Amino acid sequence: MKPHWRDDFPLIVERGDVAYLDNAATTQKPQRVLEAVRDYYRCTNANVHRAAHRLSDDATRAFEAARQTVAQRINARTAKEVVWTRGTTEAINLVAAAYAPLVLGEGDEVLVTELEHHSNIVPWQLACARYGATLRAVSVLPSGELDMADFQAKLREHTKIVAVGHVSNALGTVNDLETIIALAKAVGAAVVVDGAQAMAHFDVDVQALGCDFYAFSGHKMYAPTGIGALYGREEMLQAMPPWQTGGEMIERVRIEATTYAALPFKFEAGTPNIAGAIGLAAAVDYLNDIDFAAAQVHEADVLAYATASLQQVEGLSIVGTAPHKGPVLSFVMDDAHPHDVGTLLDQQGVAVRTGHHCAMPLMDRLGIPGTVRASFSLYNDRDDVNRMVAAVRKAGTMLVA
Ligand code: PMP
Protein backbone atom coordinates (compact mmCIF):
# COMPACT_ATOMS: atom_id res chain seq x y z
CA MET A 1 0.00 0.00 0.00
CA LYS A 2 1.25 3.50 -0.82
CA PRO A 3 2.08 5.61 2.22
CA HIS A 4 -0.73 8.14 2.58
CA TRP A 5 1.81 10.96 3.01
CA ARG A 6 2.44 10.72 -0.74
CA ASP A 7 -0.85 12.50 -1.37
CA ASP A 8 0.41 15.55 0.53
CA PHE A 9 3.16 16.19 -2.04
CA PRO A 10 1.89 17.47 -5.42
CA LEU A 11 5.16 16.83 -7.24
CA ILE A 12 5.31 13.24 -6.07
CA VAL A 13 1.72 12.66 -7.18
CA GLU A 14 2.06 14.50 -10.50
CA ARG A 15 5.49 13.14 -11.42
CA GLY A 16 4.73 9.46 -11.04
CA ASP A 17 7.22 8.88 -13.87
CA VAL A 18 10.08 9.56 -11.45
CA ALA A 19 11.09 7.54 -8.40
CA TYR A 20 12.51 10.45 -6.44
CA LEU A 21 15.31 9.06 -4.27
CA ASP A 22 17.40 12.18 -3.81
CA ASN A 23 15.88 13.46 -0.60
CA ALA A 24 19.21 14.03 1.13
CA ALA A 25 19.91 16.66 -1.54
CA THR A 26 16.52 18.28 -1.14
CA THR A 27 13.02 17.14 -0.25
CA GLN A 28 9.77 17.79 -2.09
CA LYS A 29 7.28 20.22 -0.54
CA PRO A 30 3.85 19.40 0.86
CA GLN A 31 0.79 21.27 -0.37
CA ARG A 32 0.48 23.26 2.86
CA VAL A 33 4.01 24.64 2.50
CA LEU A 34 3.27 25.69 -1.08
CA GLU A 35 0.05 27.32 0.11
CA ALA A 36 1.69 29.09 3.06
CA VAL A 37 4.27 30.72 0.77
CA ARG A 38 1.68 31.64 -1.86
CA ASP A 39 -0.76 33.02 0.73
CA TYR A 40 1.96 35.07 2.33
CA TYR A 41 2.76 36.79 -0.96
CA ARG A 42 -0.91 37.16 -1.89
CA CYS A 43 -2.20 38.44 1.44
CA THR A 44 0.50 39.60 3.82
CA ASN A 45 3.61 40.65 1.90
CA ALA A 46 5.42 43.62 3.44
CA ASN A 47 8.80 44.21 4.98
CA VAL A 48 9.16 43.19 8.61
CA HIS A 49 10.08 45.05 11.81
CA ARG A 50 10.01 48.48 10.18
CA ALA A 51 6.97 50.17 8.79
CA ALA A 52 4.14 51.74 10.75
CA HIS A 53 1.40 50.05 8.77
CA ARG A 54 -0.86 47.10 9.27
CA LEU A 55 0.52 44.87 6.54
CA SER A 56 3.99 45.18 7.97
CA ASP A 57 2.64 44.33 11.42
CA ASP A 58 0.95 41.25 9.99
CA ALA A 59 4.11 40.18 8.16
CA THR A 60 6.19 40.73 11.29
CA ARG A 61 3.77 38.74 13.41
CA ALA A 62 3.79 35.83 10.96
CA PHE A 63 7.58 35.97 10.67
CA GLU A 64 8.12 35.95 14.44
CA ALA A 65 5.45 33.27 14.95
CA ALA A 66 7.45 31.16 12.47
CA ARG A 67 10.54 31.58 14.64
CA GLN A 68 8.52 30.45 17.66
CA THR A 69 7.28 27.38 15.76
CA VAL A 70 10.83 26.39 14.84
CA ALA A 71 12.10 27.05 18.38
CA GLN A 72 9.41 24.75 19.78
CA ARG A 73 10.19 21.99 17.29
CA ILE A 74 13.79 21.80 18.50
CA ASN A 75 12.90 22.61 22.12
CA ALA A 76 15.01 25.77 22.31
CA ARG A 77 14.51 27.62 25.59
CA THR A 78 13.42 30.76 23.77
CA ALA A 79 12.89 31.95 20.20
CA LYS A 80 15.83 34.30 20.77
CA GLU A 81 18.02 31.26 20.34
CA VAL A 82 16.85 30.75 16.74
CA VAL A 83 18.69 32.83 14.15
CA TRP A 84 17.41 32.67 10.57
CA THR A 85 20.03 31.83 7.99
CA ARG A 86 20.04 30.75 4.35
CA GLY A 87 20.63 27.20 5.52
CA THR A 88 23.12 24.94 7.22
CA THR A 89 26.12 26.31 5.34
CA GLU A 90 25.44 29.88 6.37
CA ALA A 91 24.66 28.82 9.94
CA ILE A 92 28.02 27.08 10.33
CA ASN A 93 29.79 30.02 8.69
CA LEU A 94 28.13 32.30 11.24
CA VAL A 95 29.58 30.27 14.12
CA ALA A 96 32.99 30.10 12.46
CA ALA A 97 32.96 33.87 11.89
CA ALA A 98 31.51 35.07 15.20
CA TYR A 99 32.28 32.39 17.79
CA ALA A 100 35.67 31.06 16.65
CA PRO A 101 37.49 34.38 17.25
CA LEU A 102 36.34 34.35 20.89
CA VAL A 103 38.02 31.05 21.66
CA LEU A 104 40.65 30.19 19.05
CA GLY A 105 44.28 31.20 19.34
CA GLU A 106 47.73 29.88 18.64
CA GLY A 107 47.98 26.20 19.65
CA ASP A 108 44.23 25.65 19.90
CA GLU A 109 42.37 23.01 17.93
CA VAL A 110 39.08 22.49 16.18
CA LEU A 111 37.99 18.88 15.92
CA VAL A 112 35.80 17.75 13.02
CA THR A 113 35.34 14.26 11.60
CA GLU A 114 36.10 12.60 8.30
CA LEU A 115 32.37 12.05 7.87
CA GLU A 116 31.59 15.74 7.53
CA HIS A 117 30.03 17.57 4.63
CA HIS A 118 32.40 20.19 3.22
CA SER A 119 30.28 22.90 4.83
CA ASN A 120 31.33 21.57 8.24
CA ILE A 121 35.02 21.45 7.27
CA VAL A 122 35.95 24.43 5.11
CA PRO A 123 34.64 27.18 7.46
CA TRP A 124 36.79 25.65 10.22
CA GLN A 125 39.84 25.49 7.96
CA LEU A 126 39.53 29.20 7.35
CA ALA A 127 38.93 30.01 10.99
CA CYS A 128 41.93 27.92 12.05
CA ALA A 129 44.15 29.61 9.46
CA ARG A 130 42.97 33.02 10.62
CA TYR A 131 43.58 32.48 14.34
CA GLY A 132 46.61 30.19 14.27
CA ALA A 133 44.69 27.10 15.35
CA THR A 134 44.89 23.56 13.98
CA LEU A 135 42.11 21.53 12.39
CA ARG A 136 42.02 17.85 13.25
CA ALA A 137 39.63 15.15 12.08
CA VAL A 138 38.33 12.02 13.79
CA SER A 139 38.80 8.87 11.67
CA VAL A 140 35.95 6.90 10.21
CA LEU A 141 35.81 3.11 10.43
CA PRO A 142 35.08 1.00 7.31
CA SER A 143 31.47 0.65 8.53
CA GLY A 144 31.04 4.41 8.27
CA GLU A 145 30.95 4.87 12.04
CA LEU A 146 33.19 7.29 13.83
CA ASP A 147 36.22 5.75 15.50
CA MET A 148 35.36 6.76 19.05
CA ALA A 149 38.79 5.73 20.38
CA ASP A 150 40.31 8.14 17.87
CA PHE A 151 37.82 10.80 18.96
CA GLN A 152 38.93 10.41 22.57
CA ALA A 153 42.60 10.42 21.55
CA LYS A 154 42.23 13.63 19.55
CA LEU A 155 40.09 15.44 22.08
CA ARG A 156 42.20 17.44 24.52
CA GLU A 157 42.24 20.62 26.53
CA HIS A 158 43.37 22.58 23.47
CA THR A 159 40.22 21.49 21.62
CA LYS A 160 38.01 24.57 21.69
CA ILE A 161 35.36 23.52 19.17
CA VAL A 162 33.98 20.11 18.19
CA ALA A 163 32.01 20.29 14.93
CA VAL A 164 30.14 17.12 14.06
CA GLY A 165 27.24 16.01 11.90
CA HIS A 166 24.14 14.47 13.41
CA VAL A 167 23.49 12.23 10.39
CA SER A 168 25.94 11.66 7.52
CA ASN A 169 24.54 12.77 4.17
CA ALA A 170 26.88 10.42 2.32
CA LEU A 171 26.37 7.18 4.28
CA GLY A 172 23.45 7.77 6.63
CA THR A 173 25.44 7.07 9.80
CA VAL A 174 23.75 8.51 12.89
CA ASN A 175 26.46 9.70 15.24
CA ASP A 176 26.33 9.08 18.97
CA LEU A 177 25.88 12.73 19.86
CA GLU A 178 25.15 12.02 23.48
CA THR A 179 28.63 10.52 24.02
CA ILE A 180 30.37 13.03 21.73
CA ILE A 181 28.83 16.00 23.53
CA ALA A 182 29.55 14.59 26.99
CA LEU A 183 33.21 13.98 26.10
CA ALA A 184 33.58 17.40 24.45
CA LYS A 185 32.03 19.14 27.45
CA ALA A 186 34.46 17.35 29.76
CA VAL A 187 37.35 19.22 28.06
CA GLY A 188 35.39 22.47 27.87
CA ALA A 189 34.93 22.46 24.07
CA ALA A 190 31.88 24.02 22.44
CA VAL A 191 29.88 21.63 20.26
CA VAL A 192 28.49 22.62 16.87
CA VAL A 193 26.12 20.08 15.33
CA ASP A 194 25.37 19.96 11.61
CA GLY A 195 21.76 18.82 11.68
CA ALA A 196 21.05 19.14 7.94
CA GLN A 197 20.18 15.46 7.54
CA ALA A 198 18.46 14.94 10.87
CA MET A 199 15.55 17.35 11.05
CA ALA A 200 13.28 15.56 8.55
CA HIS A 201 13.79 12.14 10.11
CA PHE A 202 14.41 12.47 13.83
CA ASP A 203 13.12 14.37 16.83
CA VAL A 204 15.73 16.94 17.75
CA ASP A 205 15.79 18.36 21.27
CA VAL A 206 18.67 20.81 21.63
CA GLN A 207 18.29 21.02 25.41
CA ALA A 208 18.41 17.26 25.84
CA LEU A 209 21.41 17.08 23.50
CA GLY A 210 23.20 19.86 25.35
CA CYS A 211 24.94 21.15 22.22
CA ASP A 212 25.92 24.80 21.93
CA PHE A 213 24.94 25.23 18.29
CA TYR A 214 22.70 23.25 15.95
CA ALA A 215 22.50 24.14 12.24
CA PHE A 216 19.88 23.04 9.72
CA SER A 217 18.33 23.78 6.32
CA GLY A 218 14.64 24.18 5.56
CA HIS A 219 14.81 22.59 2.13
CA LYS A 220 15.88 19.23 3.54
CA MET A 221 12.81 19.13 5.79
CA TYR A 222 10.02 19.92 3.28
CA ALA A 223 10.44 23.71 3.37
CA PRO A 224 11.65 26.08 0.64
CA THR A 225 15.27 26.64 -0.31
CA GLY A 226 17.09 29.72 0.97
CA ILE A 227 15.93 29.42 4.57
CA GLY A 228 17.38 27.59 7.54
CA ALA A 229 18.37 28.32 11.07
CA LEU A 230 21.10 28.33 13.61
CA TYR A 231 20.17 27.38 17.14
CA GLY A 232 22.68 28.86 19.58
CA ARG A 233 22.60 28.77 23.36
CA GLU A 234 21.56 32.23 24.48
CA GLU A 235 24.70 32.98 26.49
CA MET A 236 26.89 31.96 23.56
CA LEU A 237 24.98 34.16 21.11
CA GLN A 238 25.03 37.04 23.62
CA ALA A 239 28.80 36.85 23.89
CA MET A 240 29.36 36.77 20.12
CA PRO A 241 29.89 39.89 18.02
CA PRO A 242 27.75 40.40 14.92
CA TRP A 243 29.05 38.97 11.66
CA GLN A 244 27.16 40.46 8.71
CA THR A 245 26.26 44.08 9.32
CA GLY A 246 23.91 46.73 7.97
CA GLY A 247 20.21 47.29 8.47
CA GLU A 248 18.00 45.27 10.84
CA MET A 249 20.88 44.27 13.15
CA ILE A 250 21.41 47.68 14.74
CA GLU A 251 19.95 49.52 17.73
CA ARG A 252 21.47 53.00 17.15
CA VAL A 253 23.88 54.08 14.44
CA ARG A 254 26.06 57.14 14.75
CA ILE A 255 28.95 57.88 12.45
CA GLU A 256 31.27 57.40 15.41
CA ALA A 257 29.87 54.09 16.61
CA THR A 258 26.93 51.68 16.46
CA THR A 259 25.08 49.68 19.07
CA TYR A 260 23.52 46.41 18.05
CA ALA A 261 20.03 45.00 18.19
CA ALA A 262 19.07 42.39 20.75
CA LEU A 263 19.07 38.67 19.98
CA PRO A 264 18.39 37.19 17.54
CA PHE A 265 18.30 40.28 15.30
CA LYS A 266 21.97 41.05 15.98
CA PHE A 267 22.78 38.23 13.55
CA GLU A 268 20.17 39.04 10.90
CA ALA A 269 21.43 41.90 8.77
CA GLY A 270 19.27 43.00 5.85
CA THR A 271 15.77 42.05 4.78
CA PRO A 272 15.28 38.40 5.71
CA ASN A 273 13.69 35.59 3.71
CA ILE A 274 10.24 36.22 5.18
CA ALA A 275 8.33 33.87 2.89
CA GLY A 276 10.96 31.20 3.48
CA ALA A 277 10.59 31.44 7.25
CA ILE A 278 6.82 31.16 6.93
CA GLY A 279 7.27 28.17 4.61
CA LEU A 280 9.64 26.55 7.12
CA ALA A 281 7.10 27.02 9.90
CA ALA A 282 4.46 25.40 7.67
CA ALA A 283 6.80 22.43 7.16
CA VAL A 284 7.27 22.17 10.93
CA ASP A 285 3.50 22.34 11.41
CA TYR A 286 3.25 19.50 8.90
CA LEU A 287 5.78 17.39 10.82
CA ASN A 288 3.98 18.20 14.08
CA ASP A 289 0.61 17.16 12.67
CA ILE A 290 1.49 13.87 11.00
CA ASP A 291 2.16 10.70 12.94
CA PHE A 292 5.91 11.30 12.93
CA ALA A 293 6.67 8.05 14.75
CA ALA A 294 4.79 6.11 12.06
CA ALA A 295 6.72 7.98 9.36
CA GLN A 296 9.98 7.01 11.07
CA VAL A 297 8.94 3.35 11.15
CA HIS A 298 7.98 3.57 7.48
CA GLU A 299 11.30 5.15 6.45
CA ALA A 300 13.23 2.53 8.42
CA ASP A 301 11.25 -0.19 6.66
CA VAL A 302 12.02 1.27 3.22
CA LEU A 303 15.71 1.53 4.12
CA ALA A 304 15.82 -2.07 5.40
CA TYR A 305 13.96 -3.35 2.33
CA ALA A 306 16.27 -1.44 -0.02
CA THR A 307 19.35 -2.69 1.84
CA ALA A 308 18.20 -6.32 1.67
CA SER A 309 17.24 -5.96 -2.01
CA LEU A 310 20.51 -4.39 -3.12
CA GLN A 311 22.51 -6.97 -1.18
CA GLN A 312 21.15 -9.54 -3.66
CA VAL A 313 22.66 -7.73 -6.64
CA GLU A 314 25.91 -9.30 -7.78
CA GLY A 315 28.89 -6.99 -8.01
CA LEU A 316 27.26 -4.34 -5.81
CA SER A 317 28.63 -3.28 -2.44
CA ILE A 318 26.82 -1.15 0.08
CA VAL A 319 28.98 1.60 1.55
CA GLY A 320 28.07 2.48 5.11
CA THR A 321 26.80 -0.31 7.30
CA ALA A 322 26.43 1.38 10.67
CA PRO A 323 23.69 -0.23 12.79
CA HIS A 324 22.01 3.14 13.34
CA LYS A 325 21.36 4.94 10.08
CA GLY A 326 19.10 7.57 8.64
CA PRO A 327 17.28 6.64 5.41
CA VAL A 328 20.35 6.89 3.18
CA LEU A 329 21.79 4.03 1.13
CA SER A 330 25.12 4.44 -0.66
CA PHE A 331 26.62 1.81 -2.92
CA VAL A 332 29.26 1.13 -5.55
CA MET A 333 29.27 -1.39 -8.41
CA ASP A 334 32.27 -3.35 -9.63
CA ASP A 335 33.95 -1.83 -12.67
CA ALA A 336 31.40 0.97 -13.00
CA HIS A 337 31.82 4.63 -12.19
CA PRO A 338 29.01 5.95 -9.98
CA HIS A 339 28.22 8.67 -12.55
CA ASP A 340 27.61 6.07 -15.25
CA VAL A 341 25.31 4.12 -12.95
CA GLY A 342 23.46 7.34 -12.06
CA THR A 343 22.96 8.22 -15.73
CA LEU A 344 21.54 4.78 -16.50
CA LEU A 345 19.21 5.00 -13.50
CA ASP A 346 18.04 8.42 -14.61
CA GLN A 347 17.21 7.03 -18.05
CA GLN A 348 14.93 4.57 -16.26
CA GLY A 349 13.17 7.24 -14.20
CA VAL A 350 15.09 6.72 -10.97
CA ALA A 351 16.54 9.89 -9.45
CA VAL A 352 19.59 9.28 -7.26
CA ARG A 353 22.69 11.26 -6.49
CA THR A 354 26.17 10.19 -7.53
CA GLY A 355 29.64 11.42 -6.69
CA HIS A 356 31.46 12.47 -3.56
CA HIS A 357 28.38 14.03 -1.91
CA CYS A 358 30.44 17.03 -0.74
CA ALA A 359 32.39 14.66 1.48
CA MET A 360 35.72 14.27 -0.31
CA PRO A 361 37.74 13.48 2.84
CA LEU A 362 35.32 10.62 3.53
CA MET A 363 35.70 9.27 -0.01
CA ASP A 364 39.49 9.51 0.37
CA ARG A 365 39.33 7.57 3.62
CA LEU A 366 37.14 4.88 1.99
CA GLY A 367 39.40 4.81 -1.09
CA ILE A 368 36.60 5.39 -3.60
CA PRO A 369 35.86 8.27 -5.99
CA GLY A 370 32.24 8.38 -4.96
CA THR A 371 29.06 6.37 -4.52
CA VAL A 372 25.57 6.07 -5.90
CA ARG A 373 23.26 7.31 -3.17
CA ALA A 374 19.56 6.63 -2.74
CA SER A 375 18.00 8.68 0.04
CA PHE A 376 14.45 8.11 1.15
CA SER A 377 11.63 10.13 2.58
CA LEU A 378 8.22 9.40 4.01
CA TYR A 379 6.64 9.52 0.54
CA ASN A 380 8.89 6.77 -0.82
CA ASP A 381 7.82 3.15 -0.69
CA ARG A 382 8.85 -0.37 -1.62
CA ASP A 383 7.67 0.24 -5.21
CA ASP A 384 10.28 2.99 -5.55
CA VAL A 385 12.87 0.55 -4.21
CA ASN A 386 11.76 -2.15 -6.66
CA ARG A 387 12.09 0.32 -9.52
CA MET A 388 15.57 1.25 -8.37
CA VAL A 389 16.68 -2.35 -7.96
CA ALA A 390 15.39 -3.31 -11.43
CA ALA A 391 17.14 -0.27 -12.89
CA VAL A 392 20.37 -1.13 -11.08
CA ARG A 393 20.26 -4.70 -12.39
CA LYS A 394 19.71 -3.44 -15.93
CA ALA A 395 22.49 -0.87 -15.55
CA GLY A 396 24.76 -3.70 -14.37
CA THR A 397 24.18 -5.68 -17.55
CA MET A 398 24.63 -2.60 -19.76
CA LEU A 399 27.87 -1.55 -18.10
CA VAL A 400 29.36 -5.02 -18.35
CA ALA A 401 28.31 -5.43 -22.01
N1 PMP B 1 25.59 19.35 5.93
C2 PMP B 1 25.04 18.23 5.47
C3 PMP B 1 25.19 16.95 6.25
C4 PMP B 1 24.33 18.26 4.28
O5 PMP B 1 23.76 17.13 3.81
C6 PMP B 1 24.20 19.47 3.57
C7 PMP B 1 23.47 19.54 2.25
N8 PMP B 1 23.84 18.54 1.35
C9 PMP B 1 24.78 20.61 4.11
C10 PMP B 1 25.47 20.52 5.30
C11 PMP B 1 24.67 21.94 3.46
O12 PMP B 1 23.34 22.34 3.47
P13 PMP B 1 22.87 23.63 2.64
O14 PMP B 1 23.43 23.45 1.25
O15 PMP B 1 21.40 23.56 2.69
O16 PMP B 1 23.44 24.81 3.32
Q: Ligand 1 centre and the CA of 273: distance in Å?
A: 18
pLDDT tens digit sequence for 167-191 = 999 999 999 999 999 999 999 999 9
pLDDT for 63 equals: 98
| C-alpha closest to that of 373 among 292, 193, 362 | 362
Q: Whose CA is nearest to atom 8 of ligand 1?
A: 25
pLDDT category of residue 51 using cuts at 50, 70 and 90 = confident
The per-residue DSSP string of 111-179 comes to EEETT--GGGTHHHHHHHHHHT-EEEEE-B-TTS-B-HHHHHHH--TTEEEEEEESB-TTT-BBP-HHH
pLDDT tops 90 at residue 140: yes
How far is 19 from 320, CA to CA, in rounded Å?
22
Best residue among 95, 117, 222 to mutate for probing ligand 1's pocket (most ligand atoms within 8 Å of CB) is: 117
**Contact yes or no for 346/384 (Cβ under 8 A):** no
Domains of the chain by range and CATH? 33-288 (3.40.640.10), 291-400 (3.90.1150.10)
Residue 295 and residue 53: Cα distance in Å, rounded? 42
Q: Of ligand 1's atoms, which has the minimum distance to the CA of residue 116? A: 3
Name the average pLDDT for the chain: 97
Question: Quick one: pLDDT at residue 154?
Answer: 98
Ligand 1 atom closest to the CA of 88, numbered from 1: 16
pLDDT at 343 over 90: yes
Mutate to test the pocket of ligand 1, among 112, 220, 357, 375 (most ligand atoms within 8 A of CB): 220
Q: What pLDDT does residue 72 have?
A: 98
Decide if pLDDT at 135 tops 60.
Answer: yes
Distance of alpha carbon 147 from alpha carbon 194, whole angstroms: 18
Whether 266 has a pLDDT exceeding 90, the answer reads yes
Tens digits of per-residue pLDDT, 231-258? 999 999 999 999 999 999 999 999 999 9
Which residue is closest in CA terms to ligand 1's atom 12?
Answer: 88
What pLDDT, on a 0 to 100 scale, did the predictor assign at position 50?
Answer: 79
3-state DSSP assignment of residue 263: coil
Nearest CA to 287 out of 221, 190, 209 is that of 221
Q: In the chain, what percentage of residues exceed pLDDT 70? A: 99
Taking only the tens place, the pLDDT of each residue in 312-322 is: 999 999 999 99
Q: What are phi and psi of 355, to 5 degrees?
A: 120, -155
Q: What is the mean pLDDT of residues 180-207?
A: 98
- Nearest-atom number in ligand 1 for the CA of 165 is 3
Q: Which residues line ligand 1 (CB under 6 A)?
A: 24, 87-89, 117, 119-120, 165, 169, 194, 196-197, 217, 358
Percentage, residues of the chain above pLDDT 90: 97
Residue 252 Cα to ligand 1 midpoint, Å, equals: 35
Q: Would you place residue 399 in the very low, low, confident or very high pLDDT band (cuts 50, 70, 90)?
A: confident
> Do the bridges between strand 19-20 and strand 350-351 make them parallel or antiparallel, or are there none, so unpaired?
parallel
pLDDT of residue 327: 98
Measured CA to CA, the distance from residue 209 to residue 191 in angstroms comes to: 10
Q: Is the dihedral of CA 27, 33, 35, 38 positive or negative?
A: negative
Confidence of residue 401 (pLDDT cuts 50, 70, 90): low
The reported pLDDT for the residue numbered 335 is: 84
3-state SS class at 216: strand
Site to substitute for ligand 1 among 84, 174, 175, 217, most atoms within 8 A of C-beta:
217
Respond yes or no: is residue 43 known to be catalytic: no
pLDDT at 1 over 90: no
pLDDT at site 19: 98
pTM here? Answer: 0.98
